[in-house]
Amino acid sequence: MSKLSPTISLARQLIDIDSVTPDDKGCQEIIIQRLEALGFDIERLRYGEVDNLWAKRGREKPLFVFAGHTDVVPSGPLENWHTPPFETTLIDGILYGRGAADMKGSLAAMITACERFIEKHPRHTGAIGFLITSDEEGPAIDGTVKVVDYLTHNNEHIDMCLVGEPSCTSELGDTIKNGRRGSLGAVLTVHGTQGHVAYPHLADNPVHLAVPALTELIRTEWDRGNEFFPPTSFQISNIHSGTGATNVIPGDIEVVFNFRFSTELNQEKITSRVKKILNSYFLDYDIEWTLSGHPFLTGKGELVDAAVASIKDITGLKTELSTAGGTSDGRFIAPTGSQVIELGPLNATIHKVNECVAVKHLDDLTLIYEKILQKLLTGTK
């Protein structure tokens, strides 16, 4: 332990805690101790079963915030791991453990970056904040979204936010996520009339009724994307129907599907077009929609420029801006008008058994974070 950097030592301390969502299990208290020593004002915000942390140092503008989560997904079968998921193991420069990449490593890098930055620039301009939740991997209803509501109610506006989600593909710094697609899900139930398969004239098979409409939904070009987003995608994730018997025509079919949509569309346009298609087949149906997040985009500007330049300074790489991938808690912060990017380690092993991160990547990541702080809050390039 004595030979490891402060970033790796802190990452190990956090990874060793089995903070499976939504249980923080004391991770935030470790972070609070480090931030209080730096002069941060601390607010513990608990909603339901979820622990959240809002910490801030300074009162001037701009307010730059590190955002992240202490919760992790379950480990899965322990026998599939070659090392214990909640006992951090270091092998050949690789740190293994649940949350190593997603995203306790990033949290450690953020904190040690702040420690070095504040030691060098105790009277920096602007303010630094931390928004940490234990509800990112779960339903995400009592976490960041609630903290953002709290901040809005208290007239606290985040100018720039860096979310430490694992963003990179092959090399540290090769990708920054400067936006995300929106996510709109639906559960469609098409009603028919149950009956015996030998007497189809006495029944009305909802599977047969639904297939032509589903085929049109699959074949529809929803948009062509734009400079920053790929075309909107429609994917069926589950279909359920029938009693399990081979001689019974089902009475209903349930279809679960999802849109990942670009800034070319919105919820209203999508639901209207789906309704028009379904109605054209004269179906008897019910549909329930769930919006997980609107698409957002942070174009080139102060935050993106600082991150791109900092990556170049530390790694020598020319980074790529991307909006690919799933959703993140950035979807709750961006609608307030904040500039939001995601920058963290490689995402190759997240949510997998034997999740891991390279020690060098975390040590370089904290230097990148420190450079970003320097460029944004000291005026030094």
Q: Is there a contact between 159 and 61 (Cβ–Cβ < 8 Å)?
A: yes
| From 136, 142, 355, 363, the catalytic residue | 136
Q: Is there a contact between 43 and 55 (Cβ–Cβ < 8 Å)?
A: yes
pLDDT for 379 equals: 76
C-alpha to C-alpha distance for 4 and 27, rounded to whole angstroms? 20
What is the SS3 string spanning 54-119?
EEEECCCCCEEEEEEECCECCCCCHHHCCCCCCCCEEECCEEECCCHHHHHHHHHHHHHHHHHHHH
Separate counts of helices (H) and strands (E) for the chain: 9, 19
pLDDT for 309 equals: 98
C-alpha to C-alpha distance for 201 and 140, rounded to whole angstroms? 47
Low-confidence ranges of the chain (pLDDT < 70): 1-2
**What are the tens digits of pLDDT across the range 318-330?**
999 999 888 899 9
Q: Is there a contact between 360 and 368 (Cβ–Cβ < 8 Å)?
A: no
C-alpha to C-alpha distance for 199 and 248, rounded to whole angstroms? 10
C-alpha to C-alpha distance for 16 and 18, rounded to whole angstroms? 6
pLDDT for 327 equals: 84
Total-model pTM: 0.89
Say whether 43 is catalytic: no
pLDDT for 162 equals: 98
| From 51, 71, 115, 370, the catalytic residue | 71
Q: Please calculate the CA angle 146-148-150 and round it to the nearest 5 degrees.
A: 70
C-alpha to C-alpha distance for 65 and 54, rounded to whole angstroms? 10
Say whether 136 is catalytic: yes
Q: Is there a contact between 353 and 76 (Cβ–Cβ < 8 Å)?
A: yes
Residues 6+ away with beta carbon under 8 Å from 238: 254, 255, 256
What is the SS3 string spanning 52-66?
EEEEEECCCCCEEEE
For 33, other C-beta atoms within 10 Å of its C-beta total: 10
**What are the tens digits of pLDDT across the range 154-210?**
999 999 999 999 999 999 999 999 999 999 999 999 999 999 999 999 999 999 999
pLDDT for 1 equals: 43
Query: Mind giving me the DSSP string for 221-273?
Result: ------SSSPPPEEEEEEEEES-S-TTEE-SEEEEEEEEEE-TT--HHHHHHH
